[in-house]
Amino acid sequence: MNEFLCGLTGDIVTPFNQLYNEERQGYNRAVQKFPLIIVYCYSRQDVSNAVIWARKNCVQIRIRSGGHNYEGYSNGNFTLVIDVSRMNSMYIDEFSNCLHVESGVTNGQVYNFVSSKGYPFPGGTCPTVGVSGYALGGGWGLSCRNFGLGCDSLKEIELVNYEGKIITANCEINQDLFWACRGAGGGNFGVILSMIFELPPKIDKVTVINIEYLNVDSEEQAKFMYTWQRWLKTADKRITLISRVYNSAGDNLSMLVRGIYYGIPEEALEIVDDFLRLNGAKCDMEYVTFLEAVTIIGSSYPQYEKFQSASRFVLRDLTWDSLTKLAGLIVKRPPGSVFTGISMYAMGGRVSEFETDAAAFFYRDAQYIIWLETTWEEQQYAEVNRDWIKNQFPHIECMTDGSYVNFPYKCLDCYKEEYYGKHTDILKKIKDKYDPLDVFSFPQGIGISGI
Ligand SMILES: Cc1cc2nc3c(=O)[nH]c(=O)nc-3n(C[C@H](O)[C@H](O)[C@H](O)COP(=O)(O)OP(=O)(O)OC[C@H]3O[C@@H](n4cnc5c(N)ncnc54)[C@H](O)[C@@H]3O)c2cc1C
């Protein structure tokens, strides 16, 4: 072995390796980073060795699980990427109804595993997203109004800290670290090795809802958003929906509603009646197992794509005028874009039943999350699409509050305050305490005092 790599254990990939070019890339192919080394860890010792090696050799660390960070923050030029995706064992303790996972598991792997024992899981929509990255940043999913965010089910974490030591955090041990990792844990405090989640009650079947409206106009999109906002205020907490207005090369201006209802289709039909009354609604409901439901929803994702996006929390009602402006933002796609869209992720229900200070995730009172996106295929259009988001973003920013750290945007001015709101100062103190040398840093990290 190359002497420089001495001390690193696990599978090592460097630029001299044939696989390097594929292995260095994440889900968002618009972001291209060139790490010095990728180390695939199989054990706690591999992770610990990697942290110690990086410090000894003065190489910056990035931590990667599913590799889906929108801005590529689990990767970086000339860094050591500690990749935990091969640490993916799981078991369920049926006595305590708890799921024990290693930190490399994906949503899809967890869904397959827990549903084989009859449980649902408050995971995310995309099967290849890592559960670590998902839950550490909060974790919005199509079960969240019923069961809370992913981080709300977390009971314990284990991590390798800046000294390479393993520490545990839960409600009794290292409570402050545990608090911080439920909403602000991605990449900031150490490498999470394992997590324990409390599982929701077993479930037989759920209803998957899909409503589409093709070839609409901008005013209909504004009406749709108006309906969405009004509907959400009194919606049954057993239903969680994502709704989207978009402009795609295939469908032109269109919109959709998609989601899961923990109940039967007849009830779901009544609950979504407001959406069915809108012009052109085509509705499809399926009463299926939880695994079938998340598989249907997950099947809409490509293996990877090129995109730029930005997110905001909606805490106040948007006026008709604001909604018209929002719809107007996507009427014209930038050059090379094959898709522009505004997605709305329902919050409320169980998410807002937790106190704001229950965990680092700050925006408990948001009605929904807005996510603005443009997708392109040819790399030559990257800059013009990034500029497009930059120009549209202020229009959304002025009517909303804060951004969701799991949907990061590199151009945010005060990103810490935007992601963590009034929890920012306490998070900085927790960072100083658990990572005093800022060993775990990345472009939008919490950072230590004085830097
Ligand atoms: C197609 C798609 C669909 C999505 N759908 C949803 C959704 O429905 N709901 C939602 O909430 N989010 C969603 N997301 C966002 C996703 O949850 C976040 O991007 C998440 O952080 C990705 O986790 P990852 O492990 O896949 O990514 P990575 O890029 O590997 O990691 C993301 C962040 O977490 C850190 N991290 C990863 N593993 C560890 C670890 N073991 N220890 C410490 N830090 C770690 C990384 O350093 C990085 O900062 C989606 C993303 C994509 C691309």
**Ligand 1 atom closest to the CA of 408, numbered from 1:** 19
CB atoms within 10 A of CB 169: 25
Q: 149: closest CA among 348, 10, 325, 329?
A: 348
64 shares its domain with 106: no
Does the beta carbon of 124 sit less than 6 angstroms from any atom of ligand 1? yes
Strands (E), 11-153: 11-13, 37-40, 61-64, 80-83, 90-93, 98-102
How many angstroms separate the alpha carbon of residue 28 from the centre of ligand 1? 12
Q: Is 355 helix (H, G, I), strand (E, B) or coil?
A: coil
**Domains held by the chain: number:** 3
Q: What is the span of the domain harbouring residue 40?
A: 3-83
Mutate to test the pocket of ligand 1, among 84, 85, 134 (most ligand atoms within 8 A of CB): 134
* Residue 37: CATH number of its domain: 3.30.43.10
Residue whose CA is at the smallest distance from ligand 1 atom 21:
133
**Ligand 1 atom closest to the CA of 26, numbered from 1:** 29
Does the beta carbon of 132 sit less than 6 angstroms from any atom of ligand 1? yes
Q: Give the DSSP per-residue string, 206-238.
A: EEEEEEEE-S--HHHHHHHHHHHHHHHHH--TT
DSSP character at residue 171: S
Q: Confirm whether 386 is domain-assigned.
A: yes
Distance, in Å, from the CA atom of 315 to the CA atom of 364, rounded to the nearest integer, reads: 9
Does the beta carbon of 323 sit less than 6 angstroms from any atom of ligand 1? no
How are beta strands 98-102 and 337-346 bridged, if at all?
unpaired
Does the beta carbon of 186 sit less than 6 angstroms from any atom of ligand 1? yes
Does the beta carbon of 108 sit less than 6 angstroms from any atom of ligand 1? no
Quick one: which H or E segment has residue 198?
strand 191-198
pLDDT values of the chain reduced to their tens digit, one per residue, 451 residues: 688 999 999 999 999 999 999 999 999 999 999 999 999 999 999 999 999 999 999 999 999 999 999 999 999 999 999 999 999 999 999 999 999 999 999 999 999 999 999 999 999 999 999 999 999 999 999 999 999 999 999 999 999 999 999 999 999 999 999 999 999 999 999 999 999 999 999 999 999 999 999 999 999 999 999 999 999 999 999 999 999 999 999 999 999 999 999 999 999 999 999 999 999 999 999 999 999 999 999 999 999 999 999 999 999 999 999 999 999 999 999 999 999 999 999 999 999 999 999 999 999 999 999 999 999 999 999 999 999 999 999 999 999 999 999 999 999 999 999 999 999 999 999 999 999 999 999 999 999 987 5
| Structure tokens belonging to residue 255 | 């919109």
171 shares its domain with 287: no
Q: Confirm whether 46 is domain-assigned.
A: yes
Does the beta carbon of 63 sit less than 6 angstroms from any atom of ligand 1? yes
Quick check: 213 and 258 in contact, CB under 8 A? no
Distance, in Å, from the CA atom of 127 to the CA atom of 269, rounded to the nearest integer, reads: 27
How many angstroms separate the alpha carbon of residue 66 from the centre of ligand 1? 6
230 shares its domain with 324: yes
Q: Confirm whether 372 is domain-assigned.
A: yes
Edge-to-edge order in the sheet of strand 98-102: 90-93, 98-102, 191-198, 154-160, 166-170
392 shares its domain with 259: yes
348 shares its domain with 383: yes
Does the beta carbon of 31 sit less than 6 angstroms from any atom of ligand 1? no
69 shares its domain with 94: no
Residues 6+ apart with CB under 8 A from 204: 118, 289
Quick check: 306 and 30 in contact, CB under 8 A? yes
What phi and psi values does residue 192 have, to the nearest 5 degrees?
-70, 130
Q: Is the dihedral of CA 391, 394, 400, 401 positive or negative?
A: positive
Residue whose CA is at the smallest distance from ligand 1 atom 3:
126
Residue whose CA is at the smallest distance from ligand 1 atom 41:
192
Residue whose CA is at the smallest distance from ligand 1 atom 14:
406
DSSP character at residue 361: -
Q: Which residues of 227-258 are buried (b: 16+ CB within 10 A; e: fewer)?
A: bbbebbeebbbbbbbbbbbbbbeebebbbbbb
225 shares its domain with 254: yes
150 shares its domain with 192: yes
Q: Confirm whether 38 is domain-assigned.
A: yes
How many angstroms separate the alpha carbon of residue 237 from the centre of ligand 1? 25
Q: Confirm whether 186 is domain-assigned.
A: yes
Distance, in Å, from the CA atom of 333 to the CA atom of 49, rounded to the nearest integer, reads: 47
Does the beta carbon of 87 sit less than 6 angstroms from any atom of ligand 1? no
Q: At what angle do helices 320-329 and 218-234 cross, to 10 degrees?
A: 130
